[in-house]
Structure 1
């Protein structure tokens, strides 16, 4: 057992998901809001330890769940793996269910980073019955090539579609310089968002319509100098949230006290943790 957290596992649909459950915040409050972190593509749960610690210091209970195929979660992506966004969204629900005893009597916030934010959003939008109180999206965005400032989009389009082509040809994305090893279905759905600016249909369901109908409060935070999901990509995603109350903010280098990017904000997130704690405290109870 790690001294910082308890490692647990959730079995779902042939996969085993690793979940790091951190101790209750100081003071032992059993009604402190719980934040479940859903990581970025290829980023293991352990990477979020500085952020999890900052959230606990801000008075929140914290758990971090490895995405399927990443960190200690299985299966390892291979040619035999066919899962995509639909399964990643369902995995979020499975982890929430496994945490039910700990969540009872307290508010729950899903906090997603990058791909994990898309999975958290899709879970919340596709679930008929509301099971969380708030959604926090940090360094998340649809990587639609037309969103990127200047001429960057003209590089994003062939780059993302080239990765998808390799995944189709090889049967898995080997992780060559981007995203870690990934199932081809995940890359297929990610590349679709980059090409079209829309979510794909998932198991026959119109995910775009579901996102537009979502009513859960959302805190949407983009990060300065984010090389993968700059501010404009989150603006585009927020534009889909027609029915949800959205608080749109930027986490700046001045606030963090250091330069950041798509990943390193995690190491300078104490001010952001405080903002998440205020967001959680202001949420109406279900």
Structure 2
């Protein structure tokens, strides 16, 4: 594994991890879920390399080995991650794997951000893989979780606004960890409205996402309460023109377990990638 640190305009240093495999094989570029460090995905990246692919894992700003931690000075949200951080990380990936077609694999929020990034760059990705990644829109969650998410997301946004950041290191709600208040505000708005309308947006993301025609593999996971089937359907419904393939992981691995038990999920990804060649 190689690690390349990237300095963002706000002074944050965020690393991207590179896992070389076969020279001209596709490179799967993974982005984590909220509150999950990039290092947690190393077993999945190692399994991809074992199957003959190249892999990379981008850290989300403020998480894992990214420094400094979010504070009241942090002003980044969905917009900055897809406009600044993702392009910087993909530049590193393309320099390291110049002969490889990049595919973006997004987990949870990483998938939401991946869809936004794809809408910005259009044809420069081989495709998207969305694993345990859905819309946080409250209507996509069953039973009492639906009104709980509606009220809880509003309360989280208000708390982050008052505190200056989301104090997830002290309030362990959702396992989100300490986060920028703008990022939490963007997530909360998405959860309440079902629409991707980040603070500072320079394009109409909903309209641009709807025009995407690239291949998309959406994987749901048995036992995943964070991205249940209706939540995932709400996210992929934003991609009516994409060439969508869906698969349900039958093993009860939940929202994160597939990362550390990668075999069958990588099997399905390898089959999908083979169809792209």
TM-score when normalising by structure 1: 0.90
The correspondence for 1:133, drawn from 118, 126, 136, is 126
Whole-angstrom CA distance in 2 between matches of 1:143 and 1:113: 13
The answer to whether the 8 A contact 2:258-2:265 is kept is: no
Superposition deviation, residue 56 in structure 1: 1.5
Superposition deviation, residue 162 in structure 1: 1.3
Superposition deviation, residue 228 in structure 1: 1.2
The answer to whether the 8 A contact 2:18-2:93 is kept is: no
The correspondence for 1:22, drawn from 19, 23, 27, is 19
Superposition deviation, residue 204 in structure 1: 3.2
Whole-angstrom CA distance in 2 between matches of 1:92 and 1:270: 27
Q: How does 1:1-286 map to 2 (within 5 A)?
A: 5-14=1-10, 15-24=12-21, 29-90=22-83, 91-127=85-121, 129-175=122-168, 176-177=171-172, 178-201=175-198, 202-253=200-251, 259-283=252-276
List alignment gaps of at least 5 residues for structure 1: 254-258
How many residues are treated as equivalent by the alignment?
Answer: 270
Q: Deviations over 1:99-146 (max 9, x none)?
A: 21233222211000011111111111122x522111100011111111
The answer to whether the 8 A contact 1:55-1:274 is kept is: no
Whole-angstrom CA distance in 2 between matches of 1:246 and 1:44: 28
- Give the root-mean-square deviation of aligned CA atoms: 1.4
Q: Deviations over 1:59-87 (max 9, x none)?
A: 21111111011111234210001100011
The answer to whether the 8 A contact 1:109-1:280 is kept is: no
TM-score when normalising by structure 2: 0.93
List alignment gaps of at least 5 residues for structure 2: none
- Segments of 4+ in structure 1 off by > 3 A? none
